Amino acid sequence: MTAPGTDGLPLFRQAVQDDWIDYNGHLSEAYYVLVFGFATDALMEAVGLGQGYREDTGCSLYTVEAHVRYLSEVPRGSHLCVRTTVLGADTRKVRLLHEMFLTGLSGGPEGSAVATEELFALHVDRDSGRSGPLPGAVQTGLGALVAPGPDWTGRGIREI
């Protein structure tokens, strides 16, 4: 994570690895989700839910629903940045939006998003397997980051 995104969170950056390229010559769909997962980890670190928190408390965010949109092919050798927006947060739940872009010369997003992931996560105690409240400071921090999403957020898969 480096440069700030538009919502106060740092942008997550990742270079596409050669072994992530599929038989069509572009980023395989599983690796879009891998990069989004790394961006979720970066958000967790930024708001106080990082590795130390998980080790100390046995709690973590669990993704329980995700919607990915693949918008453009990502060619071999690309450099990506992911902008994360917190769409909502309460005592146990977090709704996030990740938008993936190719990076420009400045290292920031360039052009339109190549993929998006909207996800819903719960704060879970790993030992009990049940959801539990987020720490108050994390709730406050996430609440301060909540921003509106684009008009297409919250939609499901279209019918044929």
CA distances from 17 to 26, 78, 80, 98, 157 (A): 11, 9, 11, 20, 29
| DSSP assigned state of 24 | T
Question: Does position 4 have pLDDT exceeding 70, yes or no?
Answer: no
* 79 closest CA partner among 108, 39, 99: 108
Which fold is adopted by the domain 12-145?
Thiol Ester Dehydrase; Chain A (3.10.129)
**Average pLDDT across the chain, whole number:** 91
Question: Does position 160 have pLDDT exceeding 80, yes or no?
Answer: no
Length of the chain: 160
61 has which bridge partners? Answer: 123
Query: Residues 115-128: pLDDT tens digits?
Result: 999 999 999 999 99
Residue 3: which pLDDT band, with cuts at 50, 70 and 90? very low
Four-point Cα dihedral 124, 129, 130, 135, nearest 10: -30
How many helices, marked H, and strands, marked E, lie in the chain? 3, 6
70 has which bridge partners? Answer: 115
Query: Residues 8-22: pLDDT tens digits?
Result: 677 899 999 999 999
| Span 78-96, average pLDDT | 96
Q: What is the pTM of this model?
A: 0.90
Four-point Cα dihedral 142, 63, 115, 7, nearest 10: 0
Spans of all domains in the chain: 12-145
